[in-house]
Amino acid sequence: IDTPGHAAFTAMRARGAEVTDIVILVIAATDGIMPQTVEAIDHAKAAGVPIVVAINKIDLPDANSQVARQRLMEHGLVSEEFGGDVQCVDISALKKTGLDTLLEAVVLQSELLELKGDATLRAEGVVLEAQLDRGRGPVATVLVKTGTLHRGDTVVAGTVMGRVRSMLNERGENLKEAGPATPVRLVGLSAVPSAGESFHVVESERVAKQIIAHREDERRAAPEAVSRPQISLEDLFAQAEGEGPLELNVVVKADTQGSAEALRESLLAIESDKVNLSVIHSAVGAVTESDVQLAKASDALVIGFHVRADNAGRKTAEQMGVDIRTYQIIYEAID
């Protein structure tokens, strides 16, 4: 399961480190250690997961894998060549050099860790990613951690439930069942679950509804998290007089949970003395009429990432004068 290397996808890399047994850290023999590399090492250490290092791009003329090994030592990863216990493998993804050796290193590591899963249990696992598919409805990419997931099983993920209508593997092939360590795209949920949510199979729909009702009661009882900065009366008076920072409210819609999360965090990380930016809502799917109405009520800008407005959303935006900006590249949205 690959996680993006872009700075915005911190949460996705953290989830990746938490759900896996072995991390393959890919670094370039030309660039060496980047800020995201250090962050990925920290995530793996925090999750207590062993690392196998793949030093990529060794086919390039300026590649120097020894320098990369030396730089890794600064971050507590000492390769076997330097007397440590971290396996470092030189590879070229382009030329497919060293990939067999890399796979052997992963298998060796898994044997040392004695990684095993019981396929006879009811399936449990984690939601890695989730999105709203136009044809299939809510689709979740899940990783089965233990047990076997069967077509027709009733599953619960957070406050979302459903019956497994179909499961697809990474090649788009339909599966009847998925055992431990199998990632699948699962169709049949009632709504889009949150990425990072754990899921498990229950004996019946009735039990699933009971679990969800209990979780919803707990959430309602919990104190609400404040998502936007609280503005004091002084701030409001300053704004009325034309002084102090301006408020920019944003509604974020994206094609996947991971993208919505990454864009939201990137926008909130923009530093400015002149503007307070609040993401008042972020979700998966096309920009809808209700998104536009929320934006109008909050004087917000709507940002669509890899999604567009549906017909009702577009018409309502035109009538209400709400600005919808759509982007395909995260850098452009941030700019």
**b/e map 245-277, b = 16+ CB within 10 Å:** bebbbbbbbbbbbbbbbbbbbbbeeeeeeeebb
Residue written as token pair 């990529």: 56
pLDDT in tens, 202-249: 999 999 999 999 999 888 887 654 444 434 445 545 555 566 678 888
Tens of pLDDT along the chain (335 residues) come to 677 766 667 777 777 777 889 999 999 999 888 888 888 888 888 888 899 999 999 999 999 999 999 999 999 999 999 999 999 999 999 999 999 999 999 999 999 999 888 999 999 999 988 988 888 899 999 999 999 999 999 999 999 999 999 999 999 999 999 999 999 999 999 999 988 889 999 999 999 999 999 999 888 887 654 444 434 445 545 555 566 678 888 999 999 888 998 999 999 999 888 888 989 888 888 998 888 888 888 788 999 999 999 888 999 898 888 899 999 998 899 98
pLDDT in tens, 115-153: 888 999 999 999 988 988 888 899 999 999 999 999 999
What's the pTM value of the predicted model, to 2 decimals? 0.67
What was the pLDDT predicted at 244? 64
Both tokens assigned to 193: 């679950």
The secondary structure of 152-204 as a DSSP string is T-EEEETTEEEEEEEEE-TTS-EESEE-TTEEEEEEEESSPPPTT-EEEEES-
What is the identity of the amino acid at 26?
V
3-state secondary structure of 256: strand
